[in-house]
Amino acid sequence: MNKRWDHYLSEVMNHIRSKEAKKFVASELEFHLNEVKKEWIGKGMSETEAEEKAVSQMGSPSKLGHEMNKLHKPKVDWLLIGLLVITMGLSFLPLLTVGDGLANDYLVKKGVHVLLGIVLAVVMMFIDYRMFEKRGYWFYSIGIMLLVALIMVPNVYINGAPYLMVGPFSISSFMALPFLYLAWSSFFSNEKIKLWQHFLLFGVSLLLFLAIPNLAVTFIYVTMVFVMMWWSTIKRKTAIIISLFAGLGFISFSTLTWFTVKEYQLARLLGFLHPEKYPNNWGYMYLQLKERLASAGWFGSSAKREALPFEHTDYAFLNLTYHYGYWFAILLVVILSLFAVRILMISMSIYSKYGNLLLLGGVTLFLVQFLYNVGMILGIFPLISMSLPFISYGLMHMLFNAFIMGMVLSVFRRKDITIKRA
């Protein structure tokens, strides 16, 4: 490369503010200049003459630099940030119905949770997501070690599931999901990883999830992996075959489980299917959900009722519907749906395979929580421990969903610093 070529690139770079954009533009200009240079050499010019001709064709470095700065500067998705702010604000509402003795304490803690969630989302937005692409095995190892620790040395059991207590924080298998989410985004974007390696990686992690066990987390994890698989480097025909075998395996496992199901597990299932037959035990909560939804009306119920367990956590959607009415429930569903719509819209403008997998994996993690939580409150799905993103009380769930949105913001911020070459 001659001095004029170096000087031209330097002049262009002087007008670009973002360090990330500078590296990208320099790489793209060098690529383009080399392509033009090859064309002129092919027409009989010497290498020096071809370089001079390529530079002259590029035009004014000052004008080009200003155009590149405007085109490739990092972006901020204010729409997604606006949705975050609105949703986090609404997340305080379920706590207003908690008993007077606990309301202030919960509100203060919720304020801390929201603040930490916002900080995490902003920090992740400024971190270049591409630095994680080659570190899939690191994240996988962290996720696996966390699951092993929960199996081998749990500090406490809550509802039959093991937890690790680290100071005031309780860590469950749920916290392995963000690491495995980053890991599978890397694995599925890497064409060098063989199909048998995918099976091995998935099989080991699935067995650990099943050994814990936590049905909700396992369901989220499996759904995420299969959705990402359909958009990975794996061929579509192979993905169809894997999905069919997985479906047959699930049916076989469910059939086998049915014949070995324990009495209390069968009772829980029957309580979901026929709650009116078990009003004093397994059907009680389903009847309470149905009754409170029926009495909510369009503008909520003013009648004082005995608080149900988990009204500010897993049953936050029921709480809000009962106190503020159907109109508010519909509004909340629309707002949370907009997160998914926005992420899918962003994915259409991303050319990076890794970036797309991060978006699709993230929206899957978000949607499974959202749809299942609303579905179980409406009586469509059995009751399990599943939070409503951002709305349910809890630090770890807040940080988990804030992390997902932070990754989305990171991908969006750099969407014009990665282009698809023909």
Q: What is the pLDDT of residue 103?
A: 67
**Residue from 163, 145, 166 nearest 154 by CA:** 163
Q: What is the pLDDT of residue 279?
A: 75
pLDDT band at 259 (very low <50, low <70, confident <90, very high): low
**Amino acid identity, residue 239?**
A
Q: In this predicted structure, what is the pLDDT of residue 225?
A: 94
pLDDT band per the 50, 70, 90 thresholds, residue 117: very high
Query: In 190-234, which residue ranges form alpha helices assigned H by DSSP?
Result: 195-211, 215-230
Helix, strand, or coil (residue 165): strand
User: Residue 314 above 60 pLDDT?
Assistant: yes
Q: Compare 125 and 105 and report the one with higher pLDDT.
A: 125
* pLDDT tens sequence across 202-226: 999 999 998 887 888 999 999 999 9
- DSSP letter at 153 equals S
Report d(CA 290, CA 304) in Å as an integer: 17
Q: Cβ-count burial of 131 within 10 angstroms (0-12 exposed, 13-18 middle, 19+ buried)?
A: exposed
All residues at 6 or more sequence positions from 376 whose CB lies less than 8 Å from its CB, including other chains: 382, 383, 384, 386
Assess whether pLDDT exceeds 50 at residue 422. no
Q: What is the DSSP letter of 162?
A: E
> At residue 66, does pLDDT exceed 80?
no
Task: Calculate the CA 88 to chain-centre distance.
Answer: 17
Q: Coil, helix or strand for 164? A: strand
Q: What is the pLDDT of residues 369-420, one digit of tens each?
A: 999 999 999 989 988 889 999 999 988 899 999 999 999 999 998 876 655 5
pLDDT of residue 160: 65
The domains of the chain are located at 3-72, 78-413
pLDDT at 104: 72
Q: What is the pLDDT of residue 128?
A: 87
Tell me what pLDDT residue 421 has: 45
Q: What is the per-residue pLDDT across 26-46, written as a single tens digit (0 to 9) for each?
A: 666 677 777 777 777 777 777
Report d(CA 219, CA 166) in Å as an integer: 26
Q: CA 349, CA 305: separation in Å to the nearest integer?
A: 49
Mean pLDDT of the chain: 83
**Stated pTM of the model:** 0.84
Residue pair 84/114 in contact (Cβ under 8 Å)? The answer is no
Number of other CB atoms surrounding residue 18 within 10 Å: 16
Q: How far apart (Å, rounded) are the C-alpha atoms in residues 408 and 77?
A: 9
Count of positions (residues) in the chain: 422
- 142-190 per-position pLDDT tens digit: 999 999 988 887 667 766 677 777 777 778 889 999 999 999 999 999 8
pLDDT top residue among 122 and 102:
122
Q: Which of 6, 137, 19, 58 is nearest to 417 (CA)?
A: 19
DSSP 46: -
CB atoms within 10 A of CB 142: 16
Please tell me the distance from the alpha carbon of residue 208 to that of residue 155, in angstroms, as a whole number: 18
Instruction: Give the residue with greater pLDDT, 197 vs 15.
Output: 197
